[in-house]
Chains A and B, each alone.
Chain A
């Protein structure tokens, strides 16, 4: 026979508390607040994108005429991408800036990939675990958070002046490399860290040297993660304006940069420049530039996600 108190607790009446409705209201209030937060964030973004799209498409779609005076010259994406800048908003293309951004991407990839992955592999796999290594690791994380303007200043001092590369696309690319190197190193280290230790042990137990274990088993397994980090770093680099302006990229360029030592401009700088003109039509041209930049970023981020999903299941 159970004691009375227990018997009472176990009776089904205790299931009915009268608090059910109260709890439900609290819960839905809380959820509502969360929905509002999400909606505000998404609406802001949507407004921005709508504004840019509705303004900028005039330069990218053909069936459009400006007022009664002239038919605009640039009216499709191909022309927009290949035409030089101009004094007239309806004739200005983003050609040189697009070419400048492509140059920057090539330089950034060529320099960042070997240095970024090299540093990450050393730090994660080979470096002795001591105070110096920890100090370096801590500072890498800090460097990833340094404002980009500071890197512009560094680029100006080191690449433009000291190394004598001038205000060239090479200096710009190297400055952006410095900017994203910490991010890429941290991401690559994370990718290496994600490779299970049993892989390293398995390789070593077969008589592989440390070097063989790392470069034939661990690194190949980490490559997808490393590439993802690289692509994300790159997409940050091509959106940067401040460091490039600081190190002296040009704003009005009417030629295509043909060597690494050419002067250059990049898409975000071009947009920044156009938006600064007083005439209303420039706003449309600038918006078209923004659409292009957003498109590039979207493609690159999708690529990163694709690579991650494609290879994630292999580990």
Chain B
């Protein structure tokens, strides 16, 4: 794969995004994104609704492939390999780059089966029980469910379901976890648990998180990217663009862009 010329590999970065734009048919959801995502850090994507944050995060593990008419231009390299190269198998991409969704989506099966499914499809069938325990422990759920692993996962509370989804994601040993508004369907207590969990997980994984919650971004993330929508000159189309990408501490105190400052302080968006 000829990837050398396109990337100046930064040993610290896990993703390098160059001139990325994603469109659905004629509609350009987000364009001109350039950013390097740092390894073993939490990077948060913030911005108003419709600015393409979710679209962008879904192009990191090629989930956009599943949407009819979605097209990705520009490059995303993952550890130096172009994710959209013809030779790249999206199934392997998703195995290495896990994803947690907005709404908890456990399979309508037992807690254990929710985790073993990923193990089975990835041929990780050795020491399954240990792997299940390890994943649930890492997701801070083991103590709550260890006695009824054969309970239907849908009987868990929303927050537990979401931690189960995180557990099944880390069970297949990815090295990056994408989170698309993982707490938007959860109450503050459950949200707090997920945030604490992220701080533990970031020691082993790189985490990208889309969030609407400013406090969450400022509390949990190391880097922060702010997106907004720009309306075209004729006023008909709205396209998402990256406004600022910076360390979270800088972003929330002395942002470079005025727009960022306005958004963060709640005067816009």
Q: Is B209 an interface residue (CB 8 A)?
A: no
Looking at the assembled complex, report how far the CB atom of A123 sits from the nearest CB atom of chain B, in whole angstroms: 16
A217 near B117 (CB under 8 angstroms)? Answer: yes
* Chain A 100-136 residues near chain B, CB threshold 8 A: 129
Contact indicator B66/A201 (Cβ below 8 Å): yes
Decide: B107 and A199 in contact? CB cutoff 8 A: yes
**A201-B66, A206-B168, A207-B122 given; A196·B105 CB < 8 A:** yes
From residue 93 to 148 of chain B, which have CB atoms closer than 8 A to chain A?
94-96, 98-99, 101, 103, 105-108, 117-118, 120-122
Given contacts A129-B68, A207-B91, A314-B152, contact A201 B121 (CB under 8 A): no
Query: Which residue among A198, A200, A207, A209 has the maximum number of chain B CB atoms within 10 Å of its CB?
Result: A207
Within 8 A of A (CB), among B61-76: 61, 63, 66, 68
* Contact-size category for A: 20 to 34
In the complex, are the beta carbons of B94 and A207 less than 8 A apart?
A: yes
Q: Could you say which residues of chain B place their CB within 8 Å of the CB of A198?
A: 101, 103, 105
Binary B-proximity of A192-204 (CB < 8 A = 1, otherwise 0)? 0000101111111
Contacts of B103 in A (CB 8 A): 198
How many A-B contacts at CB < 8 Å in the complex? Answer: 68
Report yes or no: B172 in contact with A201, Cβ–Cβ below 8 A. Answer: no
Q: Which of A180-201 contact B (CB under 8 A)?
A: 196, 198-201
Contact A207 B107 (CB under 8 A): no
Chain A residue numbers with a CB within 8 Å of B106 are: 202
Q: Is B169 an interface residue (CB 8 A)?
A: yes
The answer to whether the Cβ of A168 comes within 8 Å of any Cβ in the partner chain is no
Contact of A199 among B94, B95, B98, B105 (CB under 8 A): B105
Beta-carbon nearest neighbor of B100 in chain A = A205
Contact present for A207 and B121 (CB under 8 Å): yes
- Give the residues from 177 to 196 in chain B that come closer than 8 angstroms, CB to CB, to chain A: none
Min CB distance B88 to A, Å, is 13
Chain B residues with Cβ under 8 A from A212's Cβ? 121
Contact between B101 and A209 (Cβ–Cβ < 8 Å)? no
- Cβ of B92 under 8 Å from chain A: yes
Query: Are B98 and A205 closer than 8 Å at their CB atoms?
Result: yes
Residues on the A chain within 8 Å of B165, using CB: 202
Q: Quick one: CB contact mask for A221-265 with B, threshold 8 Å, 1 for yes?
A: 100000000000000000000000000000000000000000000
* New A-B contacts (14) at CB < 8 Å, excluding given A206-B172, A207-B122, A216-B120: A196-B105, A198-B103, A199-B107, A203-B117, A204-B91, A204-B94, A205-B61, A205-B101, A206-B118, A207-B94, A209-B91, A209-B121, A217-B117, A315-B108
Interface residues of B (CB under 8 A from A): 61, 63, 66, 68, 91-92, 94-96, 98-99, 101, 103, 105-108, 117-118, 120-122, 152, 154, 165, 168-169, 172
> Which 6 A-B residue pairs are closest in the complex by CB-CB distance?
A207-B95, A198-B105, A206-B118, A205-B99, A208-B121, A202-B105
List 9 A-B residue pairs with CB atoms under 8 Å apart, sorted by A's residue number. A201-B63, A202-B105, A202-B107, A203-B107, A208-B121, A216-B120, A217-B107, A314-B152, A315-B108
